[in-house]
A and B are shown apart, each in its own frame.
Chain A
Amino acid sequence: MSAIVKFEHVSKDYQKKTIIEDFDLEIEEGSFLVIIGSSGSGKTTIMKMINGLVLPSKGNVYVQGKDVLSQDLIALRRSIGYAIQGNVLFPHLTIKENIAYVLNLLKKDQKEIDEVVLKSLRLLNLPEDVLHRYPSQLSGGQNQRVNIARALSNQPRILLMDEPFGALDAIVKYQLQRDLKKMHQELKNTIVFITHDIHEALKLATHILVMDQGKIQQYATVKEIVEKPANAFVAQLLNMACKEIV
């Protein structure tokens, strides 16, 4: 299968400090990639290079075969779903307007917008009566569902999610993980998902990328990683998961 996203010798410096160095990665179309690693290891930086929010200092990033640097970034971002942590729904817009944000940027017609909005409500198990409410009138879990629906509105082939379930309680998180997994199987899109939680990674991923200090520790399918951790760091990470279960 061909790579939908490809990093080639990518480096990123901030004020002379190198965060990412000579980074290579290929993400298969249709995979559910979970990036996990220590805080500050560069997970978010890598994700933002896919939709051009961060541009590489050296090397190239290709999305669907085309170099990010040679593209219209605004158009690229509209074609990629993006959901981040926290209360990031626009508080002054209704749920419907939030979900349709990208579609409105693209000036889609109202009929199409209505259809998409209704479809995404069903997909994410949201009741229809939330449409004309404001984010402050919804629960935290519902807000995150809307956040995902908003990222999906333009039917992106790639969906980027940066710790989307970070602040949710266990039960809500469990339901959302289940629904997200189901949605992925249905839509067969490519998801890049960042988490701190190894359970979440194991539950959702088809592939896992383990990061530490700007370096790849291991990049493999879930099965491979569990069976053959590449080094002590990865093993320890998995160990933690086992211990917690016990």
Chain B
Amino acid sequence: MLQELIQVFIEQFDFFIHAFFTHIKISFISVYFASVLGIGLGLWISKHKKYAQGVISAVSLLYTIPSIALLGFLISISGIGNTTAIIALTLYGLLPMVRSTYTGLLEVDPALIEAARGMGSDEKQILKNVKIPLAFPFIFSAFRNMTTMTIALAGIASFVGAGGLGVAIYRGITTNNVMMIYIGSILVAALAILTDGCLQLLETYFITYRKKGLAFIRYSFRFAWIVVVLVLFPYEYHSNVIKIAGKPTTEGYILAELVSITIEEHTDLKVKLTHGIGGGTGNIHPAMVKGDFDIYSDYTGTIWQVVLKEEEPYNERRFYELNTKYLMEYGLMFKGLYGFNNTYGLAVHKEIADRYQLKTYSDLAKFSNQLIFGAEYDFYQREDGFNALKDAYHFQFKKVVDLDNGLKYQAMANKQIDVMTIFTTDGMLTSSDVVVLEDDLMFYPSYLAGSVIRQATLEEYPQLEDVLLLLENRISDQEMAQMNYEVEVLNKKPSEVAYAFLKEKGLLKK
């Protein structure tokens, strides 16, 4: 296993190193802001005591907000990307800094303050010469803890489309790549331990040479504005860059790569690709409307239900209606449907299909009383789940079992079940002896995948229209399933798989 770990690490060295340094960047900037703001707030409330309780309660409250909730909330304000992650991490770092500064200052021996005042120090000098230096060790140890915490927590940054090692971990989780998860986690831990070690050395040094520590704090405050500028600088508007978002699924990774490679091949535009945006459509859609992203891939049925909030079931005869509404209400539109349909489906073991000559769900209904049906637990709970399906096709299975999603294919291979629910582009379909049946009564809504683009982007770069249409009707269900399989089971990189596919289809220039 160690060997495999090292091999994956070396193969994707560039990716990991980039993630590593982005992780450092995000967490260190957050640590910096949390320190400057936290110490500043702590100083302020130690002077204005009547606000102290209020401020401490407020930052404690921030600290208790679950990170997913805080990020979700921040996305609606500061959008997707590093900025949101930095804001969230800064907010979490405030509590330890505010509290340690406040109590540190409060606990300075009053006799020392009295002596300083009696010798003619003014309030500012008391703070500078006595209170802060004496509170310093206390504040520094809180700073150390906060830094370690922030580095660990920065893993969640990928949820809002920011970079860092969380990207590796999250990609590992969504594309079923365990090595990726291991390496990401190991690097986060290594960074945290290393940083803490350095800070420990610095702490010992500063306790002996307290004045150097204080000078360090002073400079940190003085140069705060430079850091603000440096942080904001990369976010200024770049022209000729198309920002593409990817959903946090294996398919999402591959499709985002397909679109971005195609654009880079056929135009002079540069592409900035942000993978694995947490929350999927719910978070990408607002970012698209705002203009944080220009293009992403989504499914017709999803847009119909989640974005347009339509209640009637969707089918492709309503595509024109969907796309018009989408454009009128949000300035977004599908440009080029890829051809495959990622919807729910039913699959049977190949032997069963052969034995009973099964092609459609209606064929299946005829023999259902001889077959065992398997699905994950919530399929039986959902309103549009098992019961609705049973009524539509008059299924009468011999036996019905519920089992974990990940175990379904295994159960079918062992012939414990004969029929199961699937997604029509599941990677596992490729390697298994199963046959996907046709939903001849069109029970399931259609989820055709396609590129979504902002109208404004299309107006600015009209050349994109033809490029996106290159992908129209190019990918079949089987081909998509095959690509998912290569990433999920063979652990290939999504970009490699996408590149190979485009090459095979003759969509690359060279």
Contact = CB atoms under 8 A, between A and B. Distances in A.
A1 B118 CA distance: 28
B111 A82 contact: no
Contacts of A245: none
Interface string A129-142: 00000000000000
B210 interface: yes
Contact of A88 (B111, B129, B133): B111
B66 interface: no
Nearest to A91: B134
Q: Identify which of A91, A150, A151 gathers the most chain B CB atoms within 10 Å of its CB.
A: A91
B400 interface: no
A150 B114 CA distance: 14
Contacts of B125: 105
Interface string B111-147: 1101111111110010001100110000000000000
Given A90-B130, A91-B134, A105-B125, A77 B117 contact: yes
Contacts of A185: none
A86 interface: yes
Interface in B358-407: none
A105 B134 contact: no
A193 to B, nearest CB: 15
Interface residues of B, number: 18
7 contacts: A78-B119, A87-B111, A88-B111, A88-B112, A88-B115, A91-B112, A105-B121
Contacts of B117: 53, 77
Contacts of B122: 74
A240 B125 CA distance: 45
Contacts of A111: none
Interface in A63-116: 74-79, 82, 84-88, 90-92, 101-102, 105
A120 interface: no
A92 B212 CA distance: 12
Contacts of A150: 119
A85 B115 CA distance: 10
A244 B109 CA distance: 35
A48 B118 CA distance: 9
Interface residues of A, number: 24
Nearest to A73: B120
Nearest first, the 9 A-B pairs at minimum CB distance are A78-B120, A77-B120, A82-B118, A88-B115, A92-B133, A86-B111, A92-B210, A102-B119, A74-B120
Contacts of A151: 119
A101 B118 contact: no
Contacts of B112: 88, 90-91
A51 B111 contact: no
Given A88-B111, A92-B134, A92-B210, A75 B118 contact: no
Nearest to A86: B111
Contacts of B121: 74, 105
A101 B120 CA distance: 10
A84 B120 contact: no
Q: Identify which of A85, A90, A151 gathers the most chain B CB atoms within 10 Å of its CB.
A: A90
A69 B99 CA distance: 38
Nearest to A147: B115
Contacts of A75: 120
Nearest to A76: B120
Nearest to B210: A92
Nearest to B132: A92
A84 B115 contact: yes
Nearest to B125: A105
Contacts of A84: 111, 114-115, 118
Contacts of B129: 90, 101
Contacts of A102: 119-120
A91 B134 CA distance: 8
A76 B118 CA distance: 10
Given A48-B118, A91-B134, A160-B118, 6 more contacts: A51-B118, A77-B117, A77-B119, A85-B111, A90-B112, A105-B121
A230 to B, nearest CB: 31
A74 B114 CA distance: 13
A88 B113 CA distance: 9
A82 B120 CA distance: 10
B206 to A, nearest CB: 11
A129 B76 CA distance: 64
A126 to B, nearest CB: 19
A84 to B, nearest CB: 6
Q: Identify which of B111, B114, B118, B121 gathers the most chain A CB atoms within 10 Å of its CB.
A: B118
A117 B401 CA distance: 90
A203 B130 CA distance: 35
A78 B115 CA distance: 12
A43 B111 CA distance: 17
Nearest to A150: B119
Contacts of A101: 116, 119, 129
A86 to B, nearest CB: 5
A151 B118 CA distance: 10
A78 B118 CA distance: 8
Contacts of A48: 118
Contact of B115 (A79, A82, A92, A105): A82
Interface in B138-192: none
A61 to B, nearest CB: 15
A12 B109 CA distance: 26
B114 to A, nearest CB: 7
B120 to A, nearest CB: 3
Interface string A40-56: 00000000100101000
A52 to B, nearest CB: 9
A84 B119 CA distance: 11
